[in-house]
Copies of this chain bind each other. A is one copy, B any other.
Amino acid sequence: MNAAGVRKRDAERTRQSILEAAQDVFSRHPYAEASLKEITSLAGANAALVSRYFGSKEKLFEAALTASLDPTPLMPASRVEFGERLVAAFIRPVPGRINPLPMLIFATAEARLQAVALKLLRERIVLPLAEWLGGVGAEVQAARIMVIASGFFTYRSLLPLEAMQGDLDENTRAWLVRAFQSAIDAE
């Protein structure tokens, strides 16, 4: 290593930068359009290293989705403010934090990715959320949350309907808050 303690070659660091670039690219582009070339050039690495460190594009996607779910996102502060918090998080995402929803939705576009995504969705989102919610029917409530969140995300970002853009009109914002809230209020 040189004076600054920075190695020119560092497998772990390279692997990590590919993983981070993958999270970025896979959450901005549909899977088929997210090329390894784009990911590795963003990471400043050689495309052949994907194979060495992750095995394949699919495995890299899986690793990126997993990483974006760690730590478990979406964990709300209180039950009464649940809807408010969720809507606020959608409308002003925390900068730098990777939102796992795009990757989840994009995973819909390949059968093998669907299987991986479903597994992670259950283990890393639905079950933890259900545990936090507690009580009978908590898993069902968590699934309802996903229904609203994904539907909203789809028309906010992927097929951008005007009604779902920007800060939302006041009524729609209120409707969305109630939709999230009703998902956990009703058993």
Contacts and interface: CB of A to CB of B under 8 A. Distances in A.
Interface of A: 29-33, 104-111, 114, 117-118, 121-122, 126, 137, 139-140, 142-144, 146-152, 154-155, 158-164, 169, 171-172, 174-175, 178-179, 182-183, 186-187
A140 B108 CA distance: 26
A129 to B, nearest CB: 12
Can you list the 8 inter-chain pairs with the closest CB atoms, starting with the nearest? A151-B151, A109-B109, A143-B163, A147-B151, A140-B163, A30-B109, A143-B161, A108-B158
Total copies of this chain within the assembly: 2
A164 B147 CA distance: 9
Given A175-B183, A175-B186, 20 more contacts: A32-B32, A33-B111, A108-B109, A108-B158, A114-B158, A114-B159, A118-B161, A126-B161, A137-B171, A139-B162, A140-B163, A140-B169, A143-B163, A146-B161, A147-B148, A150-B151, A151-B152, A151-B154, A171-B186, A179-B179
A87 B75 CA distance: 29
